[in-house]
Chain A
Amino acid sequence: MTEPALAIADLQGFYGESHVLHGVALEVAQGEVVTIIGRNGAGKSTTMRAIMGLLKKREGSIRIRGHETIGMVSEKIARLGLGYVPEERGIYGSLDVMDNLLLPPRLGPGGMSLDEIYKLFPNLLERRRSQGTRLSGGEQQMLAIGRVLRTGADLFLLDEPTEGLAPVIVQQIGVAIGAMKAKGHTMVLVEQNFRFASKIADRHYVMEHGRIVDVIAREDVAASAGRIKAYLGV
C-alpha cells in the first residue's frame, strides 16, 4: 500500500496557553481532494497552520508521504512539496506581482511556468509590475494560488480560497482548482462555501471544537444535506 499524502493523528495544538486542537485525525490519499468544513473558530485554519509548522506549539503526528513532520521547521516541511495558500493570502507589499510569483523556491518537478500562470490568470500578467498589496482581493487570491503553482508542489493547502470574492472570480478560482485536481495534485481545502467545495472535493471532513467529528464522502453529500446544514449552522 502506498503512503497517504497526508496523515494526521492525535494532533494537539495550542495558541499560548489555550488549547485549540484536540486530537485532530485525518488522512488524505495521493491525488485526493478533501475539504475541512465547519463553523468559524472550529480550528480549520489552525490545522492548516499546524501542518505548515506555522503553529509553534503542536503535538501528535503529522506525516507527509510517510515523513514525520511534527518536529520540523517550516522550511523543511515546505520542501517536502507543500504549497500553502494562507487565509490572509500573504501577499508581500514589498514585492511586485512578478516577484511575489517568483519568491517561493522550486520544490519539485512539474511546476507551471510564469506564462502558464498568466494564461490561467490574465489579470496577473496585466498587473505584473504592480505592488502585490495594491491588487484587488480577487487578484490577490489569484496571486496567492498562482504563486504555489509555480513551485512544483504536489500537496496543496488552500485556506478559504473563495472567501469574500465576487461570483465571477470564484468561478475563475474554481477553474484553477479544477485544473490542479485534473493534474492529479493532492489538495486540502478549508472552505465556508459548501456549494463550491462540494463540486470538487472527494470527501469532506467536518470539524467542531478542535476535532474531526464526521466524514462525508462525495456520493453521500446529497443524502446528508440536513446533517451538513446542521454542522455549518446555516
Chain B
Amino acid sequence: MSTQALFGQLLIGLINGSFYAMMSLGLAIIFGLLGVTNIAQGAFYMMGAVFSWLMLRELGIGYFYALLLAPIAVGLVGAAVEKLLLSRIYKLDHMYGLLLTFGILMFIQGMFVYWLQTAGRPYPVPRELAGGFNLGFMYLPKYRAWVVLASLVICFATWFAIEKTPLGRSLRAATENPALTRAFGVNVPALMTIGFGAGVALAGAAGVLAAPIYTVSPLMGADLIIVVFAIIVIGGMGSILGSIITSLSLGLLEGLAKVVYPQGSNMVVFVIMIAVLLIKPAGLLGRER
C-alpha cells in the first residue's frame, strides 16, 4: 500500500471528522440546554449546503460570504422552529423531543426534495482555495486543508464562547439548573432559543464547508447524521471538548479502516459503538446519571 493512499484516506478521515465535530458539538449544546435529541441536525446541515448553493446561483453571493450568511440563515430557521414548536414540549418526556425533531427532519427534507429533486448539484471550489500543495508524501488539496482548519477554528470559537463569555456563562448555568437560573432573573427561554439556533447553525456551517466536497443534495444529511449519533453514543453527551476529540479520532479511524480493510470502513464506527455500549453505556467521556 502506498503512503499516498494512506495519507489521502487519513485526510478524508480528518475532514469527515471535522464535519462530525461541528455536528456533534451542536447536538451537545442542544441536548444539554433543551434536553432534546435533535434528529433533524442532518437536515440543518443539508440546509446550510443548499442555502450556499442557492445564494451562489440566484444571488451571486460567493463562498466566503455564504460561509457567514448561510449558517446565520439556518440559525434563524432553527430559532423559529424552537420558538414555534420545540418550546411547547419541554414539559414532556425526552422521547417527544426526539419524535418532534424526527417529524421536522422529514418535513424539511421532504420540502427540499419537492423543490429541488434529489439530484446532486455541484458547488465549485472557490478560486482562492483551488489547487493544492505537494507535500512529497502526499498531495494536499488546498480546499481540504481549509475545511479542517476552518472547522477547528469554528469549534474552538464555540468552545470559547461557551467557556469564556457572559452569554456562555448563562448557557452553562441554564444547562445545569434552569429553574434556579431563572430565579436569578436570567431569561432562560430566550437562551434556549439562542442555543438551538446556534446548535443548528453549527450544522449549517458544516454544510457550507461540505458543499464543494460532496455534491449538494436534499438527502446529503441523512447518512451523515447516523454516524454522528453513533459518535455521540461513543463519546457520551458530556463535554464540549470531548465531542470534538471523539469526532476527529473516529473520523481518522474511519479513514484508516478504508486503507486497512475497506469493506469494513462503513461499519467501524458502529462496531465501536456496540463495544462501548457493552462496556461503558454512558459513553467514553460521559457521566453516568
A residues with a Cβ closer than 8 A to B are 52-54, 73-75, 77-79, 84, 86, 90, 92-95, 99, 102-105, 107, 147-148, 151
Interface CB pairs A-B, < 8 A, 6: A74-B182, A78-B183, A78-B184, A93-B176, A103-B169, A105-B184
Selected from A93, A94, A104, the residue in CB contact (under 8 A) with B184 is A104
Render B145-180 as a binary contact track against A, CB cut-off 8 A, 1 for contact.
Answer: 000000000000000000000100110110111011
Could you give, for residues 175-213 of chain B, a 1 whenever the CB lies within 8 Å of some chain A CB and a 0 otherwise? 111011111111110000000000000000000000000
- Residue on B nearest A147 in the bound complex, by CB: B184
Report the bound CA distance from A104 to B183 in whole Å. Answer: 9
A145–chain B nearest beta-carbon distance, Å: 13
What CA separation (Å) do A73 and B180 show in the bound complex?
12
Q: What's the interface size class on B, roughly?
A: 10 to 19
Specify the chain A residue showing the minimal Cβ separation from B172: A94
**Interface-central residue, A74, A86, A102, by most chain B CB under 10 Å:** A74
Which residue of chain B has its CB nearest to the CB of A107? B185
Chain B residues lying within 8 Å of A73, measured Cβ to Cβ, are 182
B162 to chain A, nearest CB (A): 10
| CA of A95 to CA of B170, assembled, Å | 10
Q: Decide if A103 touches B186 in the complex (CB within 8 Å).
A: yes
**In the complex the two chains form, is A95's CB within 8 Å of B186's CB?**
no
Taken together as a complex, chains A and B put the C-alpha atoms of A147 and B177 apart, in Å, by: 16
Interface residues of A, dominant DSSP: loop
- Known A-B contacts A105-B185, A105-B186; the reply to A92 vs B179 at CB < 8 A is no
Q: Is A103 a contact partner of B182 (Cβ separation < 8 A)?
A: no
Smallest beta-carbon distance B180→chain A, Å? 5
Q: Which residues of B contact A93 (CB under 8 A)?
A: 176
The reply to whether B173 and A75 contact each other, CB–CB distance below 8 Å, is no
Residues on the A chain within 8 Å of B184, using CB: 75, 78, 84, 103-105, 147-148, 151
With beta carbons under 8 angstroms apart, the residue of B172, B183, B185 that contacts A92 is: B172
A92/B166 contact (C-beta < 8 A), A84-B183, A103-B181 known: no
- A104 / chain B contacts, CB cutoff of 8 Å: 184-186
Partner of A86, one of B166, B175, B180: B180
Chain A residues lying within 8 Å of B181, measured Cβ to Cβ, are 103
* Nearest B-chain residue to A88, judged by Cβ: B180
**Contact across chains for B169 and A95 when beta carbons are under 8 A apart:** yes
A104's closest neighbor in chain B, by CB? B184
Chain A residues contacting B177 (CB-CB under 8 Å) are 90, 92
When distances are taken between beta carbons in the complex, the residues of chain A under 8 Å from B179 are 54, 74
Q: How far is the CA of A80 from the CA of B101 in the complex (A)?
A: 36
Which A residue sits closest to B168, measured CB to CB?
Answer: A99
- Tell me which of B169, B180, B182, B187 contacts A99 (CB under 8 A): B169
- Give the CA-CA distance A64 to B181 in the complex, in Å: 20
User: Closest CB-CB distance, A107 to chain B, in whole Å?
Assistant: 6
Contact B182 A95 (CB under 8 A): no
> B residues within 8 A CB of A84?
183-184
Q: How far, in Å, is B182 (CB) from chain A's closest CB?
A: 4
- In contact, B185 and A90 (Cβ under 8 angstroms): no
**Contact between A78 and B175 (Cβ–Cβ < 8 Å)?**
no
A54 surroundings in chain B (CB, below 8 A): 179-180, 183
Interchain residue pairs A-B with the least CB separation, the first 10:
A78-B185, A74-B182, A104-B184, A94-B172, A90-B180, A75-B182, A74-B183, A52-B183, A79-B185, A94-B176
Cα of A105 to Cα of B190 in the assembled complex, Å: 14
In chain A, what residue has the closest Cβ to B181? A103
Residues of B within 8 A of A147 (CB): 184
- A104-B184, A104-B185 are known; give 7 further A-B pairs, CB within 8 A: A75-B188, A79-B185, A86-B183, A92-B177, A94-B175, A94-B176, A105-B186
User: What chain B residues lie within 8 Å of A102 (beta carbons)?
Assistant: 166, 169
What residue in chain A is nearest B170 (Cβ atoms)?
A: A103
Bound-complex Cα distance A102 to B175 (A): 16
What are the residues of chain B within 8 A of A75 when measuring CB–CB? 182-188
Chain A: minimal CB distance from B245 (Å):
19
Q: How far is the CA of A107 from the CA of B184 in the complex (A)?
A: 9
CA distance A54 to B169 in the complex (A): 21
A92, B173: Cα distance in complex, Å: 7
